[in-house]
Structure 1
């Protein structure tokens, strides 16, 4: 009995021990799984059991008006190695092809030697890492495909252990060109866009996320798509890459010459308002210029003399003045309510009595301010109403983050003193972003129709236009036809006869107005820490049938300052290069494709000439010229529609003129005169060493120089 009890106790004890050991083993194994093998099982979970995994769509492209890719989403990769895949082939293939693999990686990534890759890979092999980073940087799709061609890596993931992380990266093929217009993305594109068109049209560009999960089917795990991702739309901008490049180069060259703080250049299509170029360059700490902010739409600054055009238009529209209305600007200085209003040439004695046209030609501060103060001094609101009637201060709502709207003070606001109106009339005490000033001049060029500046012309998907953005009219008529015609004539003379001559061109006519303004330092005034200036020119071209309008605005930290010389010359370079790019010939000079042009026909063998004219279907009497194996000398008479050939008996006593002939005809003719010919060059006869009309000396050498 006792023996049986001991036997039972021993058995239970044994079972308890076994269970305790198993429990300890389970706890140990759980600890290993939780800590030592945590990453492995996390990878396994990610690889095989994924529920409701988000599929990121491909962000849409931003495309230029001329069809060039300006911003696109391209995949980038980080490549990893799993040295513990359940594959007997992996280690054998790795060691057999290690040198070949390392050499291949070095060719793809030259910044690391084959020896470095060898040491690195062996380090990961010794550590038996499951997620070993092969190369520290992100690589392109092309580089990734090249890696996949290497031995071992060209096998499946379950054999090779090679796996990757995929990142979508926003790329700009043209680098910094129009960078601030296009905008930026956050480094993690899932966070969205920061600014520019990327942010404005983010809801269209980003697309819609999809959802997928992994499911085991027939002993295999498959990705099951619950909801496919929808890629983003493409945004087709109005930017012309070539015109953007032209404007940027012209502006940056001048900024460097002037050691400027910043510069803006914007080009618009007059009829549609399409912004063809938008350049915004700011000087950085390294002394170079970069696109940092969209200054054209966000920079609020006093416009200076470009605003004088608006002031004069208000007075013209209210019938207070005409272009020949005269103002005595005296010696270039006038006291305005205790402050001196000065013209730029006051130290030279001023302009004296001049008319309105001349006032704008020479940008007379005294002339403009005297007119506005005389007719609106007792009723400043009427002047403000006149400005607003032209929509110069109407918010355009372009959709950019940080976009600013013009600030024009009214007489009921604080700090509107008696001096405010005269100084406002010449471009001070008002704050207007460059694109608003350009839009005003664009309206003048567009026969008084103010259209909204447009940066995007259409939305597309898979090459198909989904939506087009029509031209929006801000103001159908900013002024009467009479005022418009008067100001158009004046602005043309400002360039042809006034201070804006540097903005002009010998190839076509330009209209516009210069601007030079001291920059306010806020409460510190205009002269704190030295005087800095905003020089500008705003106008359009060609004057007779305006196609493009443009503003150039530059801040310089020193004098002398001249809107005509410093900004106008940039305008001229931009305009001339754009004009050359889009040069259109007079249609009257064009020839129909079926028309037959009558070529110039020189003297020579008329039998061969007749043959050529027949082959070219040129109207001539070539049918009456019989073909001969022996040359028949003759001459030709041409009209706009016909060639008449006739034989001719040359004067054998005088050296003939062979300039313009082919070498064969020239040699034949001169040798028939008994002269010896030496040829130099190729092509037609350009010069002959013995002048035509000279007496022939048989056996004499004559040298013919040929050129194409």
Structure 2
């Protein structure tokens, strides 16, 4: 039988055409990739041979009012391994586990892990990092990094706050001004061969980090240190739960000190500052304890202010014209409002007294009468006018708001209790800010710490400005309130705050915590000096003091001691007594 050559030739032709078509498609695809996708695939190829290591930027420093560094950086190291470059895994495991004081099993697991880069440990002391470098181990990288360091330890801990493992702010001023302080990280770029081994260290690319900006504060660590000493002393003497003190300039809102004892160690912020057995606690319970330790009661917690709030009621009554200095009142030791008998702190009563005497005596019936004269509508209006229903705007995170009755829910009983500082709650920062605004001439201020921002060359890049609010009382009412509060210290319940040679104004308070049946109190005192032209104001709150708990007895002397030390420091001189000046 004769072979069919034509048939086989046709099959060969078909196969040839198919192959030629496939080859053409492949050539076309290759041409497309080479001509139009070359940049993309070149980048991918380079990426396979590149190694990146971050260079941490130095976080901006924080300075106090005297230019003292209160938040700084310490050089630390990050130790890592590159698996493809390791020549002796056993030696690497042995050295790293010994030098870093880590378990060999955990180190070996990371060393033998196939990855582009594995971090063994971060925040390593520089001396340890330098010691590891001496071994010159293949595949081991020791990169310098920064760790936040606080030279003053626990001082102003709840104000400054701290940073986490990534050097990012967590609480306090550190997180509030994160955008100024954080800086911009740099990068180390190296080229490797197909096995992942660096081919030319000299060709290493480097993008330099940009350091963060520095923050300058009104906080004065000399004042902070002394105030904290006084706060600790009274807390120990009275076995109190906690003590808070704010010292501020009432004219512009600059805060000189904010103390909350007990404080915590900023360089070890995850260790509790009180001896508590946490072995049986779960992680949520431990975290809650840390959260409580980090809380700043001056801004995060509200309380019933008690008689210090009478400053606000008196100012509102005078401004509205419902009371005058010579108005007379009678205090039998109580005042009946609707169906309630509301007692004065002096059970026997104060008898007949003028309005000024009522303030000096801190007489509840007098302030109940002023509150009733104002009425619910006016009282709520002044709450709003004085800024009590909004937050102060202080430059710290987590400020709490005032807890106040709604106008439609206020009767005469609620109005009466509000007038002498009960049945509602505010923060200490709100109270001192409102009192400052009443005595400074009547202008609402914004409390704050930050003053200016500078770059790494110490050039001022931004002077921070703080809003001055509207007038809340007239200059006449402001002056009257200063005079009345000076008499409270000279002859009234605040006489233990008297300081020879200085004109001091102030108001005492003793407020009972809820529930009333537990007999737990907060003793407080707010004072300012000089009384005729205030340059400094201070508020102290002593939470749950044991034994004698009256604000005039235990809180006022603390402010007197504080003023005795810081007034000369601030350049506020004593006034000569009249008899001394006549003899000279």
1:465 aligns with one of 460, 466, 478: 460
TM-score by length of 2: 0.75
Given candidates 513, 518, 521, the residue that maps to 1:533 is: 521
Name the CA shift for 1:65/1:141 in 2 (closer, same or farther; >3 Å). Answer: farther
Q: Deviations over 1:432-470 (max 9, x none)?
A: 100111112212332222210011001111111110112
- Whether 2:417 is the aligned partner of 1:423: answer yes
Return the offset for 1:427.
Answer: 0.3
Q: Secondary structure at the match of 1:395?
A: coil
Separation in 1 of the partners of 2:242 and 2:364?
Answer: 26
**Which of 224, 227, 232 pairs up with 2:205?**
224
- 1:633-648 matches, cutoff 5 A: none
Q: Is the 8 A contact 2:441 2:474 kept in 1?
A: no
Are 2:332 and 1:337 equivalent residues in the alignment?
A: no
After TM superposition, list the pairs within 5 Å mapping 1:260-279 onto structure 2: 260-279=240-259
Match of 1:253 in 2: 233
For residue 61 of structure 1, report the CA deviation from its aligned partner: 1.6
Equivalent of 1:325, from 324, 327, 341? 327
Deviation readout 1:500-526 (Å, 9 max, x if unpaired):
1112212312111111110123xxxx2
Provide the C-alpha distance between the structure 1 equivalents of 2:69 and 2:177, rounded to a whole number of angstroms.
Answer: 16
Number of the residue aligned with 1:64: 64
Give the counterpart of 2:497 among 496, 503, 511.
Answer: 503
SS of the equivalent of 1:552 reads strand
Alignment of 1:403 onto 2:399: yes
TM-score (ref. length: structure 1): 0.62
**One of 383, 386, 394 as aligned partner of 1:387:** 383
2:172 equivalent to 1:173:
no
Match of 2:538 among 524, 545, 550: 550
Alpha-carbon shift at residue 80 of structure 1 (Å): 8.5
Distance in 1 separating the partners of 2:125 and 2:296: 30
C-alpha distance 298-555 of structure 1, shift in aligned 2 (>3 A): same
Aligned to 1:686: none
Structure 1 residue 260 displacement after superposition: 1.0
Counting matched residue pairs gives 497
Q: What is the deviation of 1:322?
A: 1.1
Q: Secondary structure at the match of 1:199?
A: helix
Structure in which a larger fraction of residues adopt helix = 2
CA distance in 1, matches of 2:214, 2:229: 28
**1:568–1:268 CA distance, 2 compared to 1 (3 A):** same
For the Cα contact (< 8 Å) 1:494–1:513, is it kept in 2?
yes
Q: 1:186 aligns with which of 157, 164, 167?
A: 164
Q: Distance in 2 between matches of 1:466 and 1:552?
A: 36
- CA distance in 1 between counterparts of 2:305 and 2:334 reads 21
276-285 vs 354-363, which moves further: 276-285
Contact 1:513 1:538 in 2 (8 A): yes
Q: Distance in 2 between matches of 1:465 and 1:61?
A: 14
User: Could you list the runs of 5+ residues in structure 2 that have no partner in the other structure?
Assistant: 1-47, 264-272, 277-289, 577-584
Partner of 1:214: 190
Spell out the pairing of 1:562-601 with structure 2 (5 A cutoff).
Answer: 562-583=550-571
Q: State how far apart, in whole Å, the 1-side matches of 2:352 and 2:548 are.
A: 26
**Map of 2:12 onto structure 1:** none
Mapped partners of 1:361, 1:128: distance in 2: 77
Cα pair distance change 1:586/1:333, threshold 3 Å: closer
Is the Cα contact below 8 Å between 1:176 and 1:291 reproduced in 2? Answer: no
Alignment of 1:90-489 (within 5 A): 139-141=124-126, 144=129, 147=131, 154=134, 163-164=141-142, 166-189=144-167, 192-215=168-191, 220-221=200-201, 222-225=203-206, 227-282=207-262, 285-286=274-275, 292-330=294-332, 332-346=333-347, 349-373=348-372, 375-376=373-374, 379-412=375-408, 414=409, 416-462=410-456, 463-475=458-470, 477-489=471-483
SS in structure 1 of the partner of residue 204 of structure 2: strand
- Counterpart-to-counterpart distance in 2, 1:585 and 1:578: 11
Q: Deviations over 1:472-495 (max 9, x none)?
A: 2023x2212221221111000000
Q: 1:305 to 1:587 in 2, by over 3 A?
A: closer
Task: Give the 3-state SS of the residue equivalent to 2:50 in structure 1.
Answer: coil
With a CA cutoff of 8 Å and minimum separation of 6, indicate the structure with the bigger relative contact order: 2
Question: CA shift at 1:399, angstroms?
Answer: 4.3
* Distance of aligned partners of 1:51 and 1:504 in 2 relative to their CA distance in 1, 3 Å threshold: same
Cα deviation 1:653-673 (Å, max 9, x = unaligned): xxxxxxxxxxxxxxxxxxxxx
Call closer, same or farther: CA 1:586–1:276 in 2, change over 3 Å: closer
Aligned-residue CA RMSD (Å) = 4.1
Aligned equivalents of 1:408, 1:324: Cα separation in 2: 31
Question: Would the aligned equivalents of 2:443 and 2:473 in 1 still touch at CA under 8 Å?
Answer: no
- Shift of residue 321, structure 1, vs aligned partner: 1.3
- Counterpart-to-counterpart distance in 2, 1:128 and 1:537: 64
1: distance between equivalents of 2:87 and 2:396?
55
> Over residues 118-140 of structure 1, what are the superposed CA-to-partner deviations in whole Å (9 max), with x where a residue is unaligned?
xx9xx99xx9999xx9x999543
Question: Is the contact between residue 57 and residue 210 of structure 1 (CA under 8 Å) also seen in structure 2?
Answer: yes
- Are residues 52 and 70 of structure 1, via their aligned partners in 2, closer, same or farther at CA, if it must alter by over 3 Å? same
1:53 shift after superposition: 4.4
C-alpha distance after superposition, 1:157-204 (max 9, x if no partner): 66xx87535553221111111111111222343xx3221111111122
Q: What's the CA shift for 1:390?
A: 2.5
Instruction: Report the counterpart of residue 514 of structure 2 in structure 1.
Output: 520
CA change 1:54–1:165 in 2 (3 A) is closer
